[in-house]
Amino acid sequence: MEDAFLVFCGLANKNNSLKLNEVSFIEEICFTEGVNLLVHLGFVLCSLVGLIVIKCRWSFITTFQIDSGLRGWIHFPCHTIRWILAFFYIFISACCLGVGILSQLYTKFDRPFIYIPDAAQLASCLLSIIYYHAAESANAPMFLVLFIFHWPAAFSINVFKIYQLYSQKFINSDLTFLLVCILISIYGFFLILELSIFFKKGYFCPGYSRDIPPLELQDPGKKFHQPYVNILSQITYTWISWLLKSGYQEPIKMEDLGELPQEETALKNFDLLKMYYDQQKENKPSGTAGSRDLGKVYFKAFGGPFLMAAVLKIIGDLAGFGGPLCITGILRFVSAESKESAKGIHFVSFWEFTSNGYVLAFLMLCTVLLQNVCLQISYYIVIRAGIHIKAALQTMIYLKALSLPVWVLSGGHLTVGQIINHMSVDAFQIMMAAFMGYYVIAIPIQIILAVLLLYNQLGYSALIGVSTIVVLIPIQYFISKRFVSIQRRTMEYSDERIKKSNEMLQSIKLLKLYSWEGIFIKAVEVAREKELKYMLKGAVYVVSTLFLTQVTPLIATTLTFSIYSSLSGSPLTADKAFSALALFDKFNTPLHLLPVVVKISVNAVVSTCRLASFFNTEELKRMTESNIASKETGTRGKNGKMSYELVQTEGTDGPDHSSNYNGSLDHPHKQHLDSIINFPNGAKPDESNIDDVELRPKCSIGNVLEIHNGYFAWDSNSDRSVLQDISIQISKSKVTVIIGKVGSGKTTLISAILGEMSTLSGHVMWASANQPLAYSAQTAWLRNASLQDNIVFEESFNEERFQAVIEACALQPDIDVLPAGRLTEIGEKGINLSGGQKQRVSVARALYSRCSVVILDDPLSALDVHVGSRVFHQGIMGMLKKENRTAVFVTHKLEYAEEADYVSKIF
């Protein structure tokens, strides 16, 4: 035993001419390292046994399906911190082994205690992370008790070793002392982590129960497990290996990918973006958000991941500079003379360690790994967040388009082509800016560090070479400025092209009938030629920028090497030349990406301005709103002054709505109106200005809708009202028919009821907030779906109700002649249906809905007399009356007016 100890300490050789105090120190440090070796070997053996037990237990659970619902990726407390600390522990252990091997090389006699314990430490450190992963995957925290014994033992041994080194003055230049101090800190952190897990989980307490995996892991339909796996699997994507194997064997289908997690859905990200956008609008006095405000919204909603990605990107770029520095050291190591070995024990210093070529090669490998890992994680973060922004913006644009009033689209303020561009082009440009945005910070840092390191290597000649890059910056700025204006014009012509293409596709049937294809094709081609003209100009500027980017590093390198010897007075050595080449190569990526980043940034700014203007477009007013305008009520409308009268038909019970409104305020509920209007200083209605009136809108009992003294215009900024002095009441569960001459304003009144028009003055009051409506427009609207889906329209399907609606709308004969019956797919805008069929399908959709209020705008105009009579009697007066639903019915057929509960005539 004593001989083995002497061999382990390197004292068995009789040629050792060491002093007594040196022998004593070697024996002391050797004994400490022997205990350290036993600690790590003991952990290795125990962890191997633990892995076997965990494997057997897992197989037992899988075979007999015992408690299988409690297995899965259960992250123990401080999961991420442990993995990061474990990677750092592996690196420090590898450095300790390298120090031991180098110390042995610089020692004349073999002393195994210098490197064997470090090798065992590296093995135990690798096994510790494997063991932890196995315990975590099996959701068995009780197996972590092994660490509670291992970390204190390793911590104590290294503290004693530090004391021995300190007593022998191995402090200032000895790298071993520094590494042992770091190991003590690592063991201390690991011990704290284990104790925190022990007390939080309480896995040896009587009431302990294991954690249940997240719901998404228990759902077999959710296959996106990236957030739940360990860091190593996230970096290497080993968790997705099952998909790669499946794709190798057979083509991957959409159902193989599983359902989208909740955090990745467009609705989740839209809610986040909309919340911050509304907050930003509330903070603005004008109530609108500009392009800068929209940029702040991006950052508030999704800025956190981008900051993390930017930090990782900077760390990766800094690690990338390790390669050129290591090249210099390796070349110096190759040309240096070998060092003479020492007779006694020798611990290498920091400079001896970092000047060794093999160590530098290992450090270069580590820096490359660190660089690629950081960059890969940062790319994943920004790509994922960029897709979130795009999905949220597209959802927000879509919902905004649905809430636009008719006059915005029909009045030329916006076109369908512009909205399509917003959803496709602008959202894509914002996403690309998210992908490349952090380069705005990373590129200057890379260039500054490269310049500083080049100056350190080559002196003033490097600065002269780099100055060529600075000289070319104004040229690139000029090109970028020109590209901005060209990009704006390109987007304008793109909007025009999409608008014309959309018009052509929407009217393709008419074009074919009149043989107008050539005219519209020429119009689209002219718009496309204008767009291509500016796209070509932009491409010329992009090519010019890329050319300057590629040529600049070559010019700088040639100029620097040419003048180096003249300025420094010394020849250009191999180590300086190769390291300088590597550093000049660092300019390629930032200079290559600079024009791309500028282009993407410019596009993003332009798109943000466009989106900010689009989001500030006026929307439909909510039903619960009552707008009070300060405009004079005597403004003449486009259709002149309008009035109407309500007539209760004979034999109908209900409140008396009979009156004649010819611009006056007299109506059956004048007393009710007087009760909700407070006139200051006792002024009478005809004595008070609209600015002095305080209105308290409230709908009367028994009415669904009331309009009092309404003045309406299509544009809120218009000084001319289209409808004037409108007062109407719609009773609950009654059928109200609106009649009038052609062009008298019946459809306009319906638009005012629906909130499509701007209320200049007066009140539009609904009985309940967010009143659901079923609306059948004068021009039938159908979507590209089956006939059944067009009628059901996302409602729950009920066969009995569906058949009743079909009978009421006389659609059964039409369904019988369709190729696939009610499952026949209807083309865009109902191209394969006649006008009457489309109108009846639109009415059937309104009847099938469960909405308590149904508005039908002249649905009988395109129907034959007998078909229209059936729709009116069985549908409107049948189903709607039977279900006690409120109906507002616009028609020119006066024979149906006498059967309604109320008739409103517009003069």
How far apart are the two ends of the chain, measured CA to CA in Å? Answer: 119
Residue from 859, 697, 879, 665 nearest 780 by CA:
859
The whole-angstrom separation of Cα 102 and Cα 350 is 11
Average pLDDT over all residues of the chain: 79
**Res 641: pLDDT:** 39
Q: What percentage of the chain exceeds 90 in pLDDT?
A: 16
pLDDT in tens, 100-118: 888 888 776 677 888 888 9
The whole-angstrom separation of Cα 247 and Cα 515 is 49
CA atoms within 13 A on the CB side of 814: 20
- Is the Cβ–Cβ distance between 480 and 598 less than 8 Å? yes
For the record, the structure tokens of 504 come out as 């052509």
pLDDT in tens, 788-837: 998 998 888 999 999 999 999 999 998 898 888 889 888 777 778 888 88
Instruction: Give the residue with greater pLDDT, 686 vs 296.
Output: 296
Residue from 774, 863, 860 nearest 814 by CA:
863
The whole-angstrom separation of Cα 225 and Cα 592 is 35
**Res 67: pLDDT:** 40
CA atoms within 13 A on the CB side of 343: 9
Instruction: Give the residue with greater pLDDT, 335 vs 10.
Output: 335
Q: Is residue 127 pLDDT above 90, yes or no? A: yes
pLDDT in tens, 556-576: 888 888 888 888 778 888 888
Q: Is residue 122 pLDDT above 90, yes or no? A: yes
Q: Which of 332-336, 756-760, 872-876 has the highest mean pLDDT?
A: 872-876
**Res 654: pLDDT:** 41
- DSSP sequence for 641-691: S--EEEEEPTT--S----EEESS----TTHHHHHHHEEPGGG--GGG--GG
The whole-angstrom separation of Cα 642 and Cα 725 is 7
Residue from 266, 234, 580, 585 nearest 377 by CA:
234
Give Cα separations from 347 to 5, 176, 506 (angstroms). Answer: 20, 7, 83
Q: Is residue 455 pLDDT above 50, yes or no? A: yes
Q: Is residue 477 pLDDT above 60, yes or no? A: yes
**Res 697: pLDDT:** 53
Q: Is residue 666 pLDDT above 90, yes or no? A: no
**Maximal CA-CA distance, the chain:** 131
pLDDT in tens, 574-619: 888 888 888 888 887 887 787 788 888 888 888 898 898 888 887 7
pLDDT in tens, 302-328: 888 889 999 999 999 899 888 888 888
Q: What is the DSSP letter of 72?
A: S
**Res 478: pLDDT:** 80
What order do you get walking across the sheet with 773-776 strand by strand? Answer: 659-661, 644-648, 902-906, 735-740, 886-890, 853-857, 773-776
Q: What is the DSSP letter of 795?
A: S
| Beta-sheet pairing, 659-661 with 773-776 | unpaired
What order do you get walking across the sheet with 703-713 strand by strand? Answer: 723-731, 703-713, 758-766
**Res 252: pLDDT:** 85
Residues 6+ away with beta carbon under 8 Å from 519: none
Residue from 294, 274, 270 nearest 284 by CA:
294
Q: Is residue 411 pLDDT above 70, yes or no? A: no
The structure's pTM equals 0.72
Q: Is residue 633 pLDDT above 50, yes or no? A: no
**Res 48: pLDDT:** 92
**Res 41: pLDDT:** 92
The whole-angstrom separation of Cα 133 and Cα 268 is 32
**Res 228: pLDDT:** 81
Q: Is residue 681 pLDDT above 50, yes or no? A: no
Amino acid at 114: I
Residue listed under structure tokens 């408690």: 67
The whole-angstrom separation of Cα 131 and Cα 47 is 6
**Res 151: pLDDT:** 92
Q: What dihedral do alpha carbons 372, 374, 375, 377 form, nearest 10°?
A: 120
The whole-angstrom separation of Cα 378 and Cα 306 is 8
pLDDT in tens, 823-833: 988 877 777 88
- DSSP sequence for 816-860: HHSTTGGGPBPPGGGTTS-HHHHHHHHHHHHHHS--SEEEEESTT
Q: Is residue 640 pLDDT above 60, yes or no? A: no
Segment 870-882 mean pLDDT = 89
| Beta-sheet pairing, 703-713 with 723-731 | antiparallel
Three-state SS at 708:
strand
Residues 6+ away with beta carbon under 8 Å from 319: 367, 368, 370, 371, 374
Three-state SS at 773:
strand
| Beta-sheet pairing, 735-740 with 902-906 | parallel
Q: Is residue 656 pLDDT above 70, yes or no? A: no
- Is the Cβ–Cβ distance between 758 and 714 less than 8 Å? yes
- Is the Cβ–Cβ distance between 863 and 871 less than 8 Å? yes
Handedness of CA 456, 462, 466, 467 (dihedral sign): positive
| Helix 357-402, helix 266-282: angle, nearest 10 | 70
Q: What confidence category does residue 664 fall into, taking pLDDT thresholds of 50, 70 and 90?
A: very low
Segment 150-154 mean pLDDT = 92
**Res 89: pLDDT:** 93
Q: Which of 136-140, 312-316, 901-905 has the highest mean pLDDT?
A: 312-316
- Is the Cβ–Cβ distance between 782 and 790 less than 8 Å? yes
pLDDT in tens, 279-309: 888 887 766 777 788 888 888 888 888 899 9
Q: Is residue 152 pLDDT above 90, yes or no? A: yes
pLDDT in tens, 52-77: 888 887 665 544 343 433 344 678 88
- Is the Cβ–Cβ distance between 158 and 78 less than 8 Å? no
Q: Buried b vs exposed e over 355-371: b needs ≥16 C-beta within 10 Å?
A: bbeebbeebbebbeebb
**Res 69: pLDDT:** 38
The whole-angstrom separation of Cα 124 and Cα 838 is 76
Instruction: Give the residue with greater pLDDT, 791 vs 346.
Output: 791
pLDDT in tens, 701-746: 778 888 888 888 887 777 778 888 888 888 888 899 988 888 888 8
Question: How many of the other CB atoms lie within 10 Å of CB of 775?
Answer: 19
Q: What percentage of the chain exceeds 70 in pLDDT?
A: 83
Segment 660-677 mean pLDDT = 32
For the record, the structure tokens of 538 come out as 């932009």
- Dihedral pair phi/psi, residue 786, rounded to 5°: -70, 165
The whole-angstrom separation of Cα 761 and Cα 771 is 22
- Is the Cβ–Cβ distance between 795 and 848 less than 8 Å? yes
pLDDT in tens, 510-561: 888 888 888 888 888 998 998 899 889 888 888 887 788 778 778 888 888 8
Q: Which CATH number does the domain 260-336+345-616 belong to among 1.20.810.10, 1.20.1560.10, 3.40.50.300, 3.30.465.10? A: 1.20.1560.10
Q: Is residue 637 pLDDT above 60, yes or no? A: no
CATH number of 703-905: 3.40.50.300
Q: Where are the domains of the chain?
A: 1-205, 219-259, 260-336+345-616, 703-905
**Res 827: pLDDT:** 78
Handedness of CA 12, 14, 20, 26 (dihedral sign): negative
**Res 331: pLDDT:** 84
